[in-house]
Every structure is written in structure tokens, then in C-alpha cells.
Amino acid sequence: MDLAYAAEWANLLIRWLHVITGIAWIGASFYFIALDNSLERPKDGDPLVRGEQWSLHGGGFYYKKKFVSAPPAMPEKLHWFKWEAYWTWISGFSLFALIYWGQASTYLVDPDVLDLPVWAAILLSLVMIVAGWVAYDRLCKSKLGESEGKLLAAGFGFLVVVTLIATHLFSGRGAFLLVGVITGTIMVANVAMAIIPGQRKMVAAIAAGREPDPAWGAVGKQRSVHNTYLTLPVVFLMLSPHYPMLYQHHLNWLVLLILAVAGALVRQFFVLRHSGRSNWALPAGGAVAIALLVVLLLPRPDARLAGVAVPTLTEAHAIVATHCVQCHAARPTFEGIASAPKGVVLETPAQLRRWAASVRQQVQTEAMPPGNITEITEEERLKIIAWVAAGAR
């Protein structure tokens, strides 16, 4: 079997698994945060119960309770929520390894950013993933972790540092995905290394007839809350490869940070709503952040086009045939590519005219060719841009 064809199927199936398990994890996380914030004081005044909730869904009524510390005895069957998180990370990390390590020279390394050897790029990204969790965990366990305000400030500073390092070492696309992997790793490690171990200790204590240490539950709650605020920024980072205007911008680190903050603000709005409060300044702040990005990313008139003669369709297609058709063909010849990316085939002048606007976007942002692997010159880029700007005739 052709290796590129097999890789394409692996990409599809792992991505499908990642989406399925991600929906399950995010759904469970959002549900329990909403439940926790909407609990009401027990009507019967039971001192063992922190709160209760009646709800209606799917044609049936539900009644839920949350205990202050633990129930008097363990139930026969206890539902755990962990494999959604584990499989989301396993599938996501596998995708990152398949694409960004398996084709590192194309997607992770950009000589215009830093001309790293492939092995060095892979090693550095792995170090950043591991170090990201270690640094975050140390912050949570430090004195800063005793104050949510201070920890929030330190956490944002940590994100700034990670983003600056990633965007100055790797391609824009690779940097965005790497920050996403680091954040996703922190989230799943919160489950595996903090939340689940604490819950196991609570269950063991109850089974032994002892009172669980409240600190175990407090740690689990803290890390669960962190995860819910990280969710929307991570979802954005997972979608970012589709939008080169974001990751190819010369201020891509700032773009990433603004969108991460916008996502966290929107999440905070819903967290408050679940507790019966509303703060419309939060989504408004997110909208303002997006509006600022729209202005920041707005294409400016390119003064370099002033002296560029508009090429003919034949001349424009000759440039594309030299630098793009290796991948964008019915049968790609570029190693590791089984089918034309996004179905964009550029083998004929007519096909080029059809995809002219998309070609301009990719060429102008310098997202394509990735890492300028086919060495298209600035003059050739300007000719393509000028041709499309003149109506792609």
C-alpha cells in the first residue's frame, strides 16, 4: 500500500476519533461545571449535602445532589469520567506526531523563522510539551496557587512566554498547533495527575470508614475549573491551521493571545450564567477583541505591486505549475501527499482561475508553499497577487 495513501487514512480516522472523544470530554466538563454552579441549598437542610438540582431533559426529570465532602457510604456503582479525556489526548497527540513530526520539514520548520534541523525541531517541541505541564503544575502547587487572582496572572504570563518561544522557533502553523498540544496536555494531565488520584484517595478513605481530606476535592475542583477556561482557546488552536491569515501574520503571537483571551471571556460569561448571574461585558469584551483582530489583520495595499506588470494567465499558471502543482494535482508527486490539499487542483489554467482568490490568500500570507519548500521568489508571489487583483483574467 502506498505510504501517503495509508497516512491519509490514518489522518482521517485519528481525526474522527479526536473529534468524537473531544465532544464527549468537553460535553462532560461543561455539564459538570454548569451543574456545580447551579446547585441550590438543600430544602431539607441536610448538612451533608452542599447543594441539589432538579432538571428536565429528554422527557424526564432528574434530581442530583452534591455532598459537602463524601456520602455516608459508597454506592454499589460509581461512574468515573476520565477516558473521554485520555482518548482525546491520545488521538490529538497522535495527529500532531503524524502530521507535524512526520512531515516536520513541511509543517513544523520554517526557514524564514528559524532554519532548524528536523530532529532538533521535533526534540524542542517535545521538550516544550513536557516542560509546559511541569511549569504549570509547579505554579499551581506554589504559593501563587493559593490565590486564584495571582495564579491567573502567572498563568497568562506563562502562556505569553510559551507563545513567544513557539512562534520564534517554528512555523506559524506549527507554533499554533504546538501551543494547542501543550495546553491540551496540561488539561489531560490535570485529569490523570491531579483530579483522578485525588478522587481515588477519596473513594479509598470512604471505603475504609475514614473522612476524606477536603484538600483532595479542592485540588480536583481547581484543576477542573482551569480546564473549562482552557477549552475554548484549545478548540480555536485546533481549528487554526485552516486560517493562514492568523498564523502567518508577523504578529501571530499577539493574534494567538488575543483569541485565547476572547475564548476565556466567553467561557466566563457562561460560567456566570449557570450560577444565575450575567455579565454582558464579558462577551462584549470578546467581541471587541475579535474586532481589533479584524482591523489588525486587514490586508493593506501592497506598495510593491506598483511596479509589477500584470502577467497573463499563461505566465501566472507557469509560476503555479513550478511551485504548487506538485501537491495540487489529481495525482500529487510531492512525497507524503496522497491527494490535493482541500481538493484544490491547479493543473490547468482554468483550474487556476477557479481557485484564484484562494491562491492569492495562500500566496500573499506566505502560507504556501509551506516553509517555502519549493522556493517561490518574492517577484513570483507579487506576479500572482497582481494577476488576481487585476481580475484573474
Together in a domain, 122 and 250: yes
Residue 1: the pLDDT is 62
Residues of the domain holding 381: 303-389
- According to the model, what pLDDT value does residue 159 have? 95
- 293 CB neighbour count, 10 Å cutoff: 19
Q: Is there a single domain that holds both residue 118 and residue 261?
A: yes
pLDDT of residue 172: 93
pTM: 0.89
Q: Are residues 332 and 351 in the same domain?
A: yes
Question: Do 187 and 85 meet the contact criterion of CB atoms below 8 Å apart?
Answer: yes
- Spatial neighbors of 195 by CB under 8 A, at least 6 apart, are 219, 220, 223, 224
Per the domain annotation, does 33 fall within a domain? no
Task: Give the domain-ending residue among 296, 313, 328.
Answer: 296
What does the pLDDT profile of the chain (393 residues) look like in tens digits? 677 788 889 989 999 999 999 999 999 999 999 998 889 998 888 888 889 999 999 899 999 999 887 787 888 888 899 999 999 999 999 999 999 999 999 899 999 899 999 999 999 999 999 999 999 999 999 999 888 889 999 999 999 999 999 999 999 999 999 999 999 999 999 999 999 999 999 888 888 888 888 888 889 989 999 999 999 999 999 999 988 889 999 999 999 999 999 999 999 998 888 888 888 999 899 999 999 999 988 877 777 777 788 889 898 899 989 999 899 998 888 887 888 888 889 999 899 999 988 888 888 888 888 878 888 888 888 888 889 888 888
> Comparing C-alpha atoms, which of 338, 389, 337 is closest to residue 363?
389
The verdict on 112 and 132 lying in the same domain is yes
Q: Which residues contact 390 (CB under 8 A, 6 or more apart)?
A: 310
Task: Report the domain count for the chain.
Answer: 2
What's residue 290's pLDDT? 93
Cα separation of 167 and 172, whole Å? Answer: 6
